[in-house]
């Protein structure tokens, strides 16, 4: 529906009043171009003109222009466009595209234009070139100004940096700023190209960010725990002795789960889990039959870089227990799957072991999720490591296995520990 009320004269000149021939209470007007009968309300008349197929194009273009630019004759009624702002609409729409990652070409989809004609016929949607150029440049400048104000008003910043590869397998080094009582702020991403992520390179890139913003504002740097990163910390501490350099606790939590998965008994059980998943992922018909079973969910393949996915993988197997059993006994499937694996799925031991392993891994995965959140304080990190150790210590586990797991926790905690964690914990007024 069009918003705003254009001058009556500009709209009504295209219509003629219909004389009342029945008991209708609502007056109507007839379009001079197409002959359709329209309720005599200015917005209804205006909307009809915008859509009227018989209205000459030059008149329609003129009407569009006047609506967009509020350029009706000064002696006519005021055309109030305050309820619709073209520039603000463009800006908001552009932010929607930037924040969701939708391809800019989507804005030229004919159904998008059809949708806009229904909800706001006067709105002229930007094209993909606008989204990729002037609107993007304008939004970037706004974000930069907002960031500048934020940085001017803060005196405590922690810099987090990590390397990753985008969908084109290009190497990227990103920089995130953590500020007190605020959400993390994305600061920059650098495409490193052919540059190797050596300690010297990492050191120079982090130092460049610190110096650009102001070294007096930085209290800490957080990276992953690779040897090159730790070597870069030493260089940074030479330049900034008060700077606290920490390894990412979430990353260390993943490494801890990796250590646990290597245990002989757990590794053997995870091999069975992967065999089940691989069988169904590599057999389309069998996977379709499994998917058709009541309450089935997709089997999740564990990832060797995101070790927390091992619990999700186990849980997907457990939730499909009945479906798996019903599927593998069907004619034509039972002879395809490995006999021993088939017996394991139909028996009880596998499911009992998976239940125990899922229960055992759960606190480790919860710890990872907590470390990955934006809410955990440094003082809490110290407590969470201690809580995990105590939780494992009171579990009913074989003594040798329990001692082994506690030693892994202690090893990874020692790897993550920095005196600042203990000091923060002591000073925390909780």
DSSP string for residues in 390-405: HHHHTS---HHHHHHH
The pLDDT of residue 82 is above 50? no
Tokens of 94: 């552009």
Q: Tokens 């005599």 sit at which residue?
A: 40
What does the DSSP 8-state code read for residue 105?
G
Long-range contacts of 350-356 (CB under 8 A, 24+ apart): 350/272, 351/318, 351/321, 353/269, 354/269, 354/273, 354/314, 354/317, 354/318, 355/318
CA distance 231 to 56: 73
Tokens of 367: 């710890």
pLDDT at 164: 79
β-pairing, 37-39 vs 28-31, is: antiparallel
If pLDDT is split at 50, 70 and 90, which confidence band does 66 have? low
The pLDDT of residue 24 is above 60? no
363, 368, 373, 378: CA torsion to nearest 10: 90
Mean pLDDT of 227-240: 94
Q: How many CB atoms lie within 10 A of CB 407?
A: 11
If pLDDT is split at 50, 70 and 90, which confidence band does 221 have? very high
Q: Which residue ranges form the domains of the chain, and what is each CATH number?
A: 8-69 (no CATH), 86-137 (no CATH), 154-247 (3.30.420.10), 254-423 (no CATH)
**pLDDT tens-digit readout, 196-208:** 788 999 999 999 9
**pLDDT tens-digit readout, 284-339:** 999 999 999 998 999 999 988 788 899 999 999 999 999 999 999 988 887 888 88
If pLDDT is split at 50, 70 and 90, which confidence band does 408 have? very high
CA distance 220 to 43: 59
CA distance 283 to 271: 18
pLDDT at 270: 95
If pLDDT is split at 50, 70 and 90, which confidence band does 191 have? confident
For the chain, how many residues are written?
A: 430
- pTM, full prediction: 0.70
The pLDDT of residue 7 is above 60? no
């Amino acid at each position: 529906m069009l918003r705003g009320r254009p001058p009556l004269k500009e709209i009504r000149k295209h219509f003629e009043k219909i004389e009342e021939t029945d008991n209708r209470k609502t007056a109507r007007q007839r379009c001079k171009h197409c002959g359709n009968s329209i309720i005599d309300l200015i917005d209804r008349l205006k909307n009809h003109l915008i859509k009227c197929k018989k209205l000459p194009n030059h008149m329609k273009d003129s009407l569009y222009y006047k609506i967009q630019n509020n350029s009706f004759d000064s002696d006519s009624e005021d055309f109030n466009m305050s309820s619709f702002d073209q520039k603000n609409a463009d800006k908001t729409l552009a932010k929607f595209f930037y924040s969701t990652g939708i391809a800019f070409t989507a804005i030229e989809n004919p159904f998008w234009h059809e949708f806009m004609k229904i909800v706001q016929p006067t709105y002229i949607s930007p094209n993909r070139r606008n989204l990729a150029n002037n609107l993007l440049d304008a939004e970037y400048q706004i974000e930069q100004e907002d960031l500048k104000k934020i940085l001017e008003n803060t005196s405590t910043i922690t810099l987090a940096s990590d390397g990753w590869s985008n969908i084109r397998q290009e190497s990227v080094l990103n920089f995130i700023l953590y500020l007190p009582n605020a959400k993390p702020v994305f600061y920059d991403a650098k495409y490193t190209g052919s540059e190797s992520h050596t300690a010297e390179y990492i050191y120079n890139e982090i130092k460049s960010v610190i110096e650009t913003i102001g070294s007096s504002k930085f209290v800490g740097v957080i990276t992953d725990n690779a040897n090159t990163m730790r070597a870069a910390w030493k260089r940074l501490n030479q330049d900034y002795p008060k700077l606290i350099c920490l390894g990412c606790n979430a990353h260390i939590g993943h490494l801890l789960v990796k250590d646990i998965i290597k245990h002989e008994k757990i590794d053997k059980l995870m091999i069975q889990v992967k065999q089940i998943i691989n069988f169904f992922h590599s057999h389309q018909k069998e996977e379709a039959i499994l998917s058709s079973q009541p309450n089935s969910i997709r089997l999740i393949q564990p990832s060797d870089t995101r070790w927390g996915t091992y619990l999700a993988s186990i849980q997907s197997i457990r939730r499909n227990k009945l479906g798996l059993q019903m599927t593998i006994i069907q004619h034509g499937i039972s002879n395809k799957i490995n006999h021993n694996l088939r017996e394991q799925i139909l028996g009880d031991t596998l499911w009992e072991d998976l239940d125990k392993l899922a229960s055992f891994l759960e606190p480790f995965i919860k710890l990872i999720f907590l470390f990955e959140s934006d809410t955990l304080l440094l003082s809490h990190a110290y407590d969470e490591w201690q809580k995990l150790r105590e939780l494992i210590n009171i579990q009913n586990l074989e003594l040798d296995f329990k001692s082994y797991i506690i030693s892994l926790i202690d090893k990874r905690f020692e790897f993550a520990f920095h005196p600042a964690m203990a000091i923060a914990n002591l000073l925390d007024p909780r």
